[in-house]
């Protein structure tokens, strides 16, 4: 998969809904009902971060949910790429960028949403052929104002900002011309996941799915 092909796929994914849930799940048994709740609320693209021992099993469970598009987040190494694909992930997300990681993803055919924090990192991605990236950590890096400023000299690249994005500040990001969607964890709070409040999560997903002002 070429960088251009990967960016085409991730752009289409980002356009499916204004929010991609960023999920930290500790129990594989929660995978399927959580995915069903989020998809029912209008958020089909799901990022399961590889931050828990259960993450790969969660991806396996979520990959079976009709209408869901499940990806793996926190990809750091080529080994992570291969494990994610084996578990059923159809896209990958990384907090930053290394050549080894992108080489592995391109060779394996996994569309990547690679993370950047600066204009220089964005230029490196553009030089490689990527036109879609994750802006992370968004709020710590200056928020929507910083992302707008990066977009002025680099209109060729579009973003999914994550990190500190909430229901309250998401509209500010979504109003930017260089933002395709946002990533956020608020749609699946730990207490609702642990308590099995799937109806509550569906309600949060519906609220998020209605955010896009464009």
State pLDDT tens for residues 58-73.
999 999 999 999 999 9
**Which of these, 39, 43, 111, 106, lies nearest to 71 by C-alpha position?**
111
- Per residue in 164-193, pLDDT (tens digit) is 999 999 999 999 999 999 999 999 999 999
Q: What's the pLDDT at 78?
A: 98
Q: What's the pLDDT at 183?
A: 98
Q: Which two tokens mark 211?
A: 């955010």
Q: What's the pLDDT at 109?
A: 98
Query: Among 9, 61, 106, 134, which one carries the catalytic annotation?
Result: 134
Identify whether 66 is a catalytic site residue.
no
H or E element that contains 144: helix 143-151
How far apart are alpha carbons 132 and 42 in whole angstroms? 22
Residues of the chain with pLDDT under 50: none
Query: Among 36, 47, 106, 172, which one carries the catalytic annotation?
Result: 47
**Which of these, 98, 96, 90, 1, lies nearest to 46 by C-alpha position?**
90
Q: What's the pLDDT at 213?
A: 58
Q: Let me know: does 165 contact 182? Beta carbons within 8 Å.
A: yes
Q: Let me know: does 34 contact 62? Beta carbons within 8 Å.
A: yes
User: Any idea what DSSP says for residue 179?
Assistant: B
Q: What's the pLDDT at 214?
A: 53
Identify whether 47 is a catalytic site residue.
yes
CA 125 vs. chain centroid, Å, equals: 17
How far apart are alpha carbons 64 and 36 in whole angstroms? 10
**What does the angle CA 103 – CA 107 – CA 56 come to, to the nearest 5 degrees?**
90
């Amino acid at each position: 998969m070429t960088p251009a092909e990967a960016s085409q796929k991730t752009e289409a994914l980002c356009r499916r809904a204004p929010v991609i849930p960023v999920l930290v799940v500790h129990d594989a048994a929660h995978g399927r009902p959580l995915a069903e709740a989020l998809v029912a609320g209008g958020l089909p693209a799901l990022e399961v971060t590889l931050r828990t021992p259960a993450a790969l099993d969660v991806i396996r469970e979520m990959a079976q949910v009709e209408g869901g598009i499940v990806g793996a987040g926190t990809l750091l190494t080529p080994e992570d790429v291969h494990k994610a694909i084996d578990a059923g992930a159809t896209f990958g997300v990384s907090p930053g960028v290394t050549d080894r990681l992108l080489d592995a993803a391109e060779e394996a055919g996994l569309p990547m949403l690679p993370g950047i924090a600066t204009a220089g990192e964005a230029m490196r991605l553009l030089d490689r052929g990527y036109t879609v990236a994750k802006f992370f950590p968004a709020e710590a890096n200056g928020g929507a104002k910083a992302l707008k400023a990066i977009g002025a000299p680099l209109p060729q690249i579009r973003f999914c900002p994550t990190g500190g994005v909430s229901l309250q500040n998401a509209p500010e990001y979504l109003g930017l011309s260089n933002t395709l969607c946002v990533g956020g964890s608020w749609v699946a709070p730990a207490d609702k996941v642990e308590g099995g409040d799937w109806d509550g999560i569906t309600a949060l997903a519906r609220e998020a799915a209605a955010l896009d002002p464009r």
